[in-house]
Structure 1
Amino acid sequence: MQLVWPAPEYLRSYADALRRGWSPNNLRPQVADEELAAIRQNPDAFFDRLVNFQGGGEGVMLPDGSVVPRLPGYRKWMWDGEFCGSIQLRWADGTPELPAYCLGHIGYGVVPWKQRLGYATRALGLMLREARTRGLPHVEITTSPENLPSQKVIAANGGVLVEEFEKLASLGGGRELRFRVGL
């Protein structure tokens, strides 16, 4: 498995995963339908939205429908000959801190039919190397207390539990665990 920049040669496999019910956003599963519509409308503009090193532009919709400023960041796709999942890095320029509406520097998801193959662990390890180039002293990654597979992925990459906290109501509320990985 390798990380690839989203590109036309991978798009059919990515769209197939969306049609099969996978979503790159676990807080807003309907993002799958939104992304399929964006791909149909203008694939080049879709790709441009996935890589934004400056931040700004179109805001990010939260689960409650509110829109917040887009942070600098980008998404890469996991690829093993077909689409396996995605991983995203985001940051705030000049500080390792993130706004309260952003649950972590890195978010990832593997399609169900490729889970338990070590892809998330490998993808996170590769993304941590890239996060170092952003000048961050550490990254934070969050997961629900029930998501033991994700906790194992984070721990396998040096993550240390920092706190359990309550997510903002705009993010759906509920308990969440925050891990920190030193870079």
Structure 2
Amino acid sequence: MTIQIVKPALEHLPSYVDALQRGWSPDNVRPEFTAREHLAAIEADPAAFLESLDDPEAKGPPLTLPDGAKVPRLPGYRRFIWDGEVAGSIGFRWQEGTSALPSHALGHISYAVVPWKRGRGYATQALALMLEDARARGLQYVQITALPHNIISHKVILANGGVLMGRFVEDPAYGRAESVRFRIDL
């Protein structure tokens, strides 16, 4: 099945809330925290929540990293992976004027597919669509990271032209976990 990546809108929120309530999270670093945070934000002000997902000028407040450190927000946005309902999400962030990212940003693109829709090629398709946006922004490359044991994600990245750059230790804000970095030249 072909998917789309869509800008989140009010009509998508019931499906997104359902996915969160079923135990899925768009965040692979702090899944439970982010799911609770998103549900509370949607309940408090759905329009403000949607607005927070689309910040290409980095006007939002600083980000709080897992260790509590505050860092300036990077330009970026999140899109829903859509097949008639929310099948996951994919985010894209960048730094103006360069393809490089600060050390606290683990990669340009992150994605998560709901468990009940995995194995259908949705992440591979969504990443290919998001790479079009990265090219349009003039980036020379994107970096994407994954945990060493996340072979499925490795395959998604490789299917989109990714090249393994090697293992690295994540920024102390993320607990210095070992991770794997891929690069996709655009």
TM over 0.5: yes
Q: Quick one: distance in 1 between partners of 2:36 and 2:85?
A: 20
TM-score calculated relative to the size of structure 1: 0.97
Q: How many residue pairs are counted as aligned between the two chains?
A: 183
Within 2, Cα distance between the matches of 1:41 and 1:13? Answer: 17
SS state at 2:12 partner: helix
2:22 aligned with 1:20: yes
2:45 aligns with: 42
Paired position in structure 1 for 2:114: 111
Say which is worse superposed, 161-170 or 96-105, in terms of deviation: 161-170
> Residues of 1 paired with 2:7 and 2:125: CA distance?
16
CA distance in 2, matches of 1:56, 1:167: 26
How far is 1:91 from its partner? 0.1
In structure 1, distance between residues paired with 2:116 and 2:62: 31
Q: Which consecutive unaligned segments of at least 5 residues does structure 1 have?
A: none
Structure 2 unaligned regions, length at least 5: none
Letter matched to residue 28 of structure 1: R
* 2:78 is the counterpart of 1:66: no
Task: Quote the offset at 1:65 in angstroms.
Answer: 1.9
Q: 1:171 to 1:56 in 2, by over 3 A?
A: farther
Moved segments of 4+, more than 2 Å: none
For 2:45 and 2:107, the matched residues in 1 are separated by 29
Contact 1:28–1:62 (CA under 8 A) maintained in structure 2: no
One of 79, 84, 89 as aligned partner of 2:92 = 89
Determine the structure 2 residue equivalent to 1:5.
7
Q: Distance in 2 between matches of 1:124 and 1:43?
A: 26
SS state at 1:128 partner: helix
Task: Report if aligned partners of 1:17, 1:83 keep a CA contact under 8 Å in 2.
Answer: yes
How does the TM-score come out when normalised to structure 2? 0.96
